[in-house]
């Protein structure tokens, strides 16, 4: 993001309002690509469940457990306890090799529409963290939910992306802080495990309610 900002013409780069417009266009394109990928993954997940022929309750339980596993994996990665997750990036290299030449043709970026298109291509850049969330979106239950999950992830990355683009130093320092990353990681893991436990309580209550009826 920092490199893209520095590559803008000086008259745009030195104007905070105009540079913000370009940075916003980059990120809008990136997040829209995440949403498209999430929709495809969510639809694929539905086909898998239909192929397995699972009942709705069993399918929901399976999806919930899978989601918790992926969130815990993200937490371990962010905390620096599972760096092997970065190997997932190799899966996207063949696709990126085909997309990268298209991105090069758009350089140098001179208009917001070019920045938007570049952002859409940039969204397919291999990234281990993105791929984990994309795998998680397979468990979303529908194409729409998969798209929303990836869009929410994209919005969650905006602070760090904008800090690199417009140099909001305090946000960047926070993102680079090991303690801050580990605090976020632990929070994610605890929330994921708690959701699994609370979900079990909910299903038990539903079953008890149905039994009384």
**Under 8 Å CB-to-CB from 155, ≥6 apart: which residues?**
31
pTM of the model: 0.75
3-state secondary structure of 74: helix
Residue 197 has pLDDT above 80, yes or no: no
What are the tens digits of pLDDT across the range 26-82? 999 999 999 999 999 999 988 887 787 766 567 667 777 887 888 888 888 888 888
Structure tokens at 7: 């590559």
**Under 8 Å CB-to-CB from 65, ≥6 apart: which residues?**
196
Structure tokens at 183: 């605090």
| Angle separating helix axes 128-137 and 143-156, nearest 10 degrees | 150
| Angle separating helix axes 128-137 and 56-78, nearest 10 degrees | 170
38 touches 134 (CB < 8 A): yes
| Integer Cα distance of 50 and 44 in angstroms | 10
Quick count: other Cβ atoms within 10 Å of Cβ 30? Answer: 25
Nearest residue to 118 (alpha-carbon basis) of 133, 101, 94: 101
Query: Which range among 108-122, 126-140, 164-178, 192-206 has the greatest average pLDDT?
Result: 108-122
């Amino acid at each position: 993001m920092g490199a893209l900002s520095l590559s803008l013409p000086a008259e745009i780069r030195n104007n905070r309002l105009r540079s913000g417009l370009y940075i916003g266009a980059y990120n809008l394109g990136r997040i829209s690509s995440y949403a498209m990928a999430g929709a495809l993954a969510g639809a694929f997940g539905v086909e898998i469940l239909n192929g397995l022929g699972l009942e709705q309750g069993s399918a929901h339980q399976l999806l919930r457990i899978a989601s918790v596993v992926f969130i815990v994996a993200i937490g371990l990665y962010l905390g620096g306890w599972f760096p092997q997750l970065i190997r997932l990036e190799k899966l996207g290299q063949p696709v990126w090799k085909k997309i990268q030449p298209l991105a090069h043709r758009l350089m140098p970026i001179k208009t917001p529409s070019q920045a938007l298109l570049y952002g859409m291509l940039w969204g397919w850049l291999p990234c281990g963290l993105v791929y984990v969330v994309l795998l998680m979106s397979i468990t979303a239950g529908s194409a729409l939910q998969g798209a929303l999950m990836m869009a929410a992830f994209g919005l969650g990355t905006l602070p760090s992306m904008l800090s690199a683009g417009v140099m909001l130093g305090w946000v960047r320092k926070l993102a680079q802080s090991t303690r801050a990353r580990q605090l976020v990681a632990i929070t994610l893991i605890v929330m994921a495990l708690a959701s699994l436990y609370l979900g079990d309580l909910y299903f038990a209550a539903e079953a008890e309610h149905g039994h009384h009826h």
